Chains A and B, each alone.
Chain A
Amino acid sequence: MKKYSLLLLVTFALIEINAQVTISGKVKDNKGKPVAGASVSLKDTYDGTVTDSTGHYIFTASEKGDFIFLVSNIGYKSFEQKVTVDSKSISIDAVIKEELSELKAVTVISGSFAAGDTKRAATVLTSLDVATVGGGNADITSAVRTLPGAQQIGEREGLFVRGGTGTETKQFIDGTLVNNPYFSNATDLGSRGRFSPFLFKGTVFSTGGYSALYGQALSSALILESIDLPERSAANLSVSPIILGGGFQDLSKDKKASWGVNYNYVNLVAYFNIVKQTPDYFTMPVFHSGDANFRIKTKNGIIKYYTTFSKSDMGLRRPDIDSLDLKDAFGLKNVNWYNNISWRENLGNRWKMNIGAGYSTNTDDINQQLQDQNNKQQFVSDKPWLQAKNFTLKNRQDLSQVKAVFEKRLFGISAIRFGGEYMYSVNDNNYNDTAKSKLIDNFQSLFAETDIYVTNDLAAKIGGRFEHSSILEKANFAPRISLAYKVGNGAQVSAAYGVFYQKPENQQLIYTKRLGYTKAIHYILTYQKTTNDRIFRTEVFYKKYYDLVKTNAITFNYATYNNGGSGYAKGIEFFWRDKKSIKNFDYWISYSYLDTKREFLNYPEQLFPDFAATHTASVVTKRFFMDIKTGFNLTYSYATGRPYYNFMYNGTGNKYVIADQGKTKDYHSVGFSMNYVPSIGKQNARLFWVLVASVTNVLGNNIVYGYNYSYNGMNKMPINPPAKRFYFIGVFFSWGVDRTEDAINNNL
C-alpha cells in the first residue's frame, strides 16, 4: 500500500509537470486598442503574466481545476471569466473597459485659462507667475493682460476682452461678484486691482463661454478662488519708498483654523517729487488699506472670511482742453469696504455645497473745478461746456449678496450643479447737490448645469441661467453649452456656445430705466496640447452683440439711452508656454488677432472701437539664477495702433457725427523686474525676505492711448501715461514659525 501511494504521488507529480497548460490571448480596450502592461492571472494563484506592447500574453498554469481568469489594469474595470484548466491549451481574448476618472477625464477648457492650482493640467499661471510678470507690479489684471484675448489698455480700468469694454469683464471671488475690484482713479489714468495675487490659490480667466454659475458679464469673467489655511504662522513687513505695510497670520496648533490682519500705507509724495508726473498733484495720493481674515476647517470643508477696507485721497490738475489759460482740478476721495464669507462643505452621499455671502460699499467723492493760473476756481456761465467742468459728484454703491451652489455626483464622475443668488444693490448718486438719484435693484438668478462624461475622452457641460432684475423689470434666460474631446495625449479640442446678458450701467440707468439687458452670444473653438512643461493653445471665436446701450443726444451734454446698439467681434488667438527647452528659463508668448465693430453709446454707426487693436502680442520671459539667488523678468507687449474718434453732436436729429478720426501709433512696452531672494531654499529659515525692483516701459517709448478733443473739435490732446516709467523698489520680510524641520532634526 505504501509503495502504491508513493508511486501514485510520483506519477501525479510527473503528470503535473508534463501537462502544464498554456493560456494565451490578447487584451484590448473598449475602443479595440491593445492594452500593454495589463496584469493577467488565474485568481488566487501565482500563475499569470503581463501583456506585451501589442496586448498579447502567454503563461503556463501550474495548477489544475476551476479558476477565475482575471485581467486587471489601473484605470480599467477588471475582466473576469470562469475557466477550467485541464490538459488543453486555452485561448482567451479579453476586452477591458476604461474607468471614468477625474485625473484622466478631459476637462472643458474652451474660453478659459485656469491658473493657480498646479495639479490641474489646464494650469497656465500660478500666483507666483502673476507676481513676477516683468512690469506687471504684482497686479492680477496686468498679468492677465499678457494672455491672449486681453487688450493692452492702460488709460482705463478693467480688462478689455475680445472687443468688449472694461465693464464687460466681471470679477468673482469664491463665487460671488466683486463690485469695485479696482482702486478709484482719475480719468485717463487707469487703475490697479485691489486684491493681491497671493490671496488666491486659483485664478480662471475666461475670455468667453463661461459657466452658467456666473452671469452679468458680456465678455469675460475673472474667477478667483482664495487660499485655504496658510502653511504656517507668520509675521510680515513691507518697506518701500511708496508702501509701508505689516501684518500677521496665525495658524492654530491643530492646523484647523487661522486668522490674520494686514495694514498698508501708500504715500506717493516722495516718489512724485523724484519722478516727475505730467499732472500737477495738489493732493498727493495717499491710501490706507487694511484687511483681515479668518478661516476655519469644518468637518468636511472650510469657512472663509475676508474683509478689506481702504481709504484714499488724491487731487490733480491738468491743462483745460477748451481754453488756453485754464486748468481742470480733479479731487477724489474714496472709501471702500469689501466683505466676503464663504462656506464650502462636502455633505456626504455625493453632495457638495458652496455658500457665499458678501457686502461691499464704495463711495467716490469727486470735486471737479475749472481753475485759473493761480488755482482759483473760475465760473464761466456764458460757456456752458466750460461751466460744466465745475461740479461735485458723490456716488455710493452698496452691494449685498448671497449665493448658494449645490452639487450632486451622479453616475461615474458626472455631476449636476444648481443654485441661486440674490443681490441687493443700491446706487446713490448726488450731482452738484441738485440732481440726486437712488437706484435700487433686486437681482435674482437661478442656475443649473451638468457635467456629463460620456467616456474619459468626451465631456459635455450643459447649463442654463435665469435672471431677473427689478430695476429693469425684465427677466432673461441664458443657455450655455460646451464640449471637450480628447484627441491625443494631453491634447483636446473643445467648443463652447453661450448666451450672456448684462444690465446697463448705473450711469445710464440714472437717466432712464426704460432699458433692457444688453446681450452677447459666444461661439468658441479651442485646440490645446499640454505636456508637463509646455502648453500650446489656439482658439477661434465669434461673438455677436445685441441691444447695446446707445446714447440718444438731446443737447450737447444731456442724453438719454436706448438699446439700439449692436456689434460683433471675431478673431484667432495663440498661446505658447515653455518651461522646458532652456533650463531655469520660462517664457510665454501670446498673440491675438481681432476684428470687431460695434455701434454703441455715441458711435453713429458700427465702428472699430477705440479700445481695441487688431493685433496684440506679448512675450513674457523669466529666468532665475540660482548662484546669485536672483530672478529677472522681462516682458514685451505690442499692439497695433487703436482708432480714435471725435464724435460731435450735430445739433439736430439727436445724432452724433464723426468730426475727426485717426489711428494712434503702435504700442510697444518693455517691462522689467527682478527679485533677489537670499533665503531661498533655507527651509528652516525663520526670516524669509525678498528684494523686488521693477520698472515699466524700460525703453521710454512715447505711449499714446488715444486723444481727447476740445468741445469745438479744434484742439486735440494725446492721452499719455502720467509718467514715462513707473519705478518700484521694495523689501518684503516674512518671519515664519515652522516646526517641520524641528521634527526631522529631533529624529536624528
Chain B
Amino acid sequence: MKKIIAVIALLGTMCVNAQSDKYVQAMKANLAKFDSVKSTADYQALAATFERIGDAEKTQWLPYYYAGLALTTAGWLDQNMDKDANAEKVKSVCTKAEAIEKNAEILTIRNMAATQQMMVDPQSRWMSYGQEASGYLQKGMQIDPNNPRLYYLQAMSVFGTPEQFGGGKSKAKPIFEKAVSLFKTENPKPLYPHWGQKEAEAKLAECQ
C-alpha cells in the first residue's frame, strides 16, 4: 500500500515536473528567439506563441509579459506600423497578465505601448498618451521602487524630450545612473525579465 502511494506520489511529481519542464523548455526556446527575429511579422508570431503558452498555462504571467515585450519591441523597430492597433494588442496581453499578477514589469510594457502611441503625434498626443505613459512608471515605482527598467524607461523619455520641454541629456543622466546602479544589483529569477542594462549603459555613455 505504502509502495503504491509512493509510486502515485512519484508519478504525480513526475507529471508536475514534466509539465513545468515543458513550460520552461518552451519559454527558453522562445526567449532565445528574441535574438534572431527581425521582421514585425516575426515579432508578432513570437508574441502569438507566448500568448498561446500563457493561455495554456493559465497561471503564468510571464508568457503574456513576453508577448507584450515582443510587440513593443516591434513597435520601436517598425516606424510604419499602426501603433494604435499594436498598443491595443499589447494592452490586451497586459490585461491577461495582470489578471494573474499585478507587477511593475507589466507596467513597463504598458508604458512602452503608450509612449509609442504618443510618438505618433507628440504635439497633440502629449497630454493624453504622454500622461498615460508616465502614469504607468509612477505606479510601477510605487509597487517596485528598485526596478531598474522603470528608471531606464523614464530616463529614455527624458532623453528623448527636447531640452526646451524639460528633457535632454543632462536631465536624463542622473536617471540613467540610477538605472545602471539598480541593474548591477539586480538578481532576476530564471525566466524573469532582465533586459535593459546594456542599453542603459550605452545611453549613459552618450550622456557623458
The chain A residues found within 8 Å of chain B, CB to CB, are: 37, 39, 41, 43-50, 52-53, 74-75, 103, 118-119, 126, 532-533, 579, 626-627, 629, 680-684, 740, 743-744, 747-748
Contact = CB atoms under 8 A, between A and B. Distances in A.
B61 to A, nearest CB: 16
A534 to B, nearest CB: 11
B49 interface: yes
A75 B92 CA distance: 11
B85 interface: yes
Contacts, number: 78
A626 B124 contact: no
B44 A37 contact: yes
Interface centre among A75, A126, A747 (most CB of B within 10 A): A747
Contacts of B105: none
Contacts of B37: none
B166 A684 contact: yes
Contacts of A74: 85, 88-89, 92
Contact of A46 (B53, B88, B134): B53
A720 to B, nearest CB: 39
A74 to B, nearest CB: 5
Contacts of A45: 52, 56
Nearest to A52: B41
Interface string B41-84: 10011001101110110000000000000000000000000000
A50 B124 contact: no
Contacts of B44: 37, 50
Interface residues of B, number: 38
Contact of B52 (A48, A53, A682): A48
A45 B178 CA distance: 41
Contact of A126 (B124, B154, B178): B124
Interface in B85-144: 85, 88-89, 92, 120-121, 123-125, 127-128, 134, 137-138, 141
A579 B162 CA distance: 19
A295 to B, nearest CB: 18
B26 interface: yes
Contacts of A47: 52
Contact of B162 (A119, A681, A740, A743): A681
A620 B137 CA distance: 39
B125 A49 contact: no
Given A37-B44, A118-B125, A118-B128, A681 B165 contact: yes
A748 B174 contact: yes
A248 B56 CA distance: 56
Contacts of A48: 48-49, 52
Contacts of A533: 121
Contacts of B165: 680-681, 683
B92 to A, nearest CB: 6
A118 B166 contact: no
B127 A118 contact: yes
A44 B164 contact: no
B156 interface: no
Contacts of B120: 532
Interface centre among B22, B51, B120 (most CB of A within 10 A): B51
B160 interface: no
Contacts of A740: 134, 138
Contact of A682 (B26, B41, B166): B166
Given A39-B48, A46-B49, A49-B45, 8 more contacts: A37-B44, A47-B52, A53-B41, A103-B88, A126-B124, A532-B120, A680-B165, A682-B166
A748 B45 contact: no
A748 B154 CA distance: 11
A45 B51 CA distance: 11
Contacts of B55: 41, 43-44
Contact of B51 (A39, A75, A682): A39
A145 to B, nearest CB: 23
Interface in B1-59: 22, 26, 41, 44-45, 48-49, 51-53, 55-56
B180 interface: no
A447 to B, nearest CB: 32
Contact of A626 (B41, B85, B137, B162): B162
Contacts of B178: 748
Contacts of B88: 74-75, 103
* Closest 9 pairs (CB-CB, A-B): A681-B165, A39-B48, A50-B48, A747-B141, A48-B52, A681-B166, A41-B52, A681-B164, A683-B166
Contacts of A579: 121, 123
B175 interface: yes
Nearest to A73: B89
5 contacts: A46-B56, A49-B49, A74-B88, A75-B88, A681-B164
Given A48-B52, A748-B175, A629 B164 contact: yes
B193 interface: no
B40 to A, nearest CB: 9
B52 A46 contact: yes
A119 B125 CA distance: 8
Nearest to A677: B164
Contacts of B161: 681
B167 to A, nearest CB: 8
Nearest to B135: A740
B126 to A, nearest CB: 10
A390 to B, nearest CB: 56
Contacts of B134: 740, 744
Contacts of B137: 744
Contacts of B123: 579
B171 to A, nearest CB: 11
A39 B71 CA distance: 14
